[in-house]
Structure 1
């Protein structure tokens, strides 16, 4: 989603600098007119506002500490943390645990810079048009200082609280429900197909009936070959629903439906659809239901 955010900023008149660990993505960025940097530190030397939009907590720490310092928490050459100061504003948009989000933001604040915990939802297509959802947590003054830029990125901004980590909490609750809806929709659609119903007709019916959900409406057309492209890779939502389950466990709670969703999403990854659109969970169910005498085992 990061490249789409960069394109949105460029289209709105901003000069965009990028850093990516994927050389192919950097080459793409260069072809789009972005200034490509070899390290996060190099980027920070030219930019006062930095958006961190990476896959997971490990990559967030790599940005902060550098590739050689992420495991030891000792900044290495090229790291962001040692070079930022009061002139910098850092927006963390990655989906990580509340603890990781809070940890990263407090590290930035200790450098006298501004930080926001601001995960996003909506996928690359909506990011490119400024229509992603943003869940913002951090001091009110920090939120206000970045309000104009945030409105460029999103027309659906939710100011959750002033407590770092609450942006992550809200995002994980949302993605928990997204995974449950996706898995439930895939299961129902695969059952309908097994019963001999036409999947496209069934989807059209459900979309106008009580069984519909946002995830069903936006993912199943791709699963059925009615639309193309990848909105979100399967392993990304799998990671998020696992984080949501862990977040609940830390509160002494178990999530029966969340556990099933995590299990089915991981099973889809394990069957070879890790990098595919997350609607591939439908294909996992289709394969299961086509197996003679298939039995469904609930996760323990």
Structure 2
């Protein structure tokens, strides 16, 4: 919206739709069917491959309603095989898919500063360039074949999962040893053991802020993809 793109949105949460409309969206609904035939590009960011397929090909699926030549940017974290299968199904409908998982979380998304790991055809990149420019500060063009972007994201999630687990164990060890957590945090963030995950997530531990900001189930799913890929 801030980039000046005509934007519609779909979310099962009515409040999310209301928020989008308040920001000036052209429309918002529980299903993308409401506007699938109007848009030139569709961005899908749901939990897993089953949900991606449901959005595109399910009972209320939108793929067959989209204009030929339109582009679909799948930003969910899914397996390379799923990305390839979904891309093939979209190609059969004369739609271009960009396998484009993202990283950055809600804050970076709101700022339009996501990191995108993308793979797909020249047509998909061209059609989605305005969208990529609007939502990302870093776009990595991994390959011209869908699936490679998802593989890069899965490898990234291996590191992210390890860093979160190691960070939590480190702070727990510090607490048991009687080391003030703010001191431990300051030492690590100014030394070689630091990571983005430690610096970001452990600040909440130091602050005593345990407000949920994500779902553990998502990391369980992602690390399952890591194991399957390995």
Give CA deviations for 1:14-71 in whole Å, capped at 9, x if unaligned: 22211112333223333333311343222212211111111111211110123xxxxx
CA–CA distance in structure 2, aligned partners of residues 233 and 225 of structure 1: 20
Q: For residues 12-51 of structure 1, what are the structure 2 equivalents within 5 Å? A: 12-34=3-25, 35-51=27-43
Q: Which position in structure 2 is the counterpart of 1:185?
A: 167
SS in 1 for 2:56: helix
Note if 1:160 corresponds to 2:142: yes
User: Does the CA-based 8 Å contact 1:95-1:168 persist in structure 2?
Assistant: yes
Gaps of 5+ in 1: 1-9, 67-75, 249-300
CA–CA distance in structure 1, aligned partners of residues 149 and 126 of structure 2: 16
User: Does the CA-based 8 Å contact 1:134-1:154 persist in structure 2?
Assistant: yes
Q: Which position in structure 2 is the counterpart of 1:101?
A: 83
- Give the structure with the larger strand fraction: 2
Question: Which TM-score applies when normalising by structure 2?
Answer: 0.92
Q: For residues 258-273 of structure 1, what are the structure 2 equivalents within 5 Å? A: none
Cα offset for 1:211?
Answer: 1.1
Question: Which TM-score applies when normalising by structure 1?
Answer: 0.71
Cα offset for 1:224?
Answer: 2.4
CA–CA distance in structure 2, aligned partners of residues 231 and 151 of structure 1: 26
Note if 1:129 corresponds to 2:111: yes
User: Does the CA-based 8 Å contact 2:117-2:141 persist in structure 1?
Assistant: yes
CA–CA distance in structure 1, aligned partners of residues 195 and 119 of structure 2: 27
Runs of 4+ in 1 over 4 A off after TM superposition: 226-231
CA–CA distance in structure 1, aligned partners of residues 192 and 31 of structure 2: 50
Q: Which position in structure 2 is the counterpart of 1:233?
A: 215
SS in 2 for 1:159: strand
Note if 1:215 corresponds to 2:207: no
Q: For residues 189-208 of structure 1, what are the structure 2 equivalents within 5 Å? A: 189-208=171-190
Gaps of 5+ in 2: none
Q: Which position in structure 2 is the counterpart of 1:71?
A: none
* 2:54 aligned residue (38, 62, 81): 62
User: Does the CA-based 8 Å contact 1:55-1:95 persist in structure 2?
Assistant: yes
Q: For residues 78-157 of structure 1, what are the structure 2 equivalents within 5 Å? A: 78-157=60-139
CA–CA distance in structure 2, aligned partners of residues 119 and 163 of structure 1: 14
Cα offset for 1:156?
Answer: 0.8
SS in 2 for 1:196: coil
> How many residue pairs get matched?
229
Cα offset for 1:230?
Answer: 5.0
Give CA deviations for 1:134-174 in whole Å, capped at 9, x if unaligned: 00011134223322331221111111111211111100100
CA–CA distance in structure 2, aligned partners of residues 229 and 102 of structure 1: 37
User: Does the CA-based 8 Å contact 1:207-1:217 persist in structure 2?
Assistant: yes
CA–CA distance in structure 2, aligned partners of residues 217 and 132 of structure 1: 18
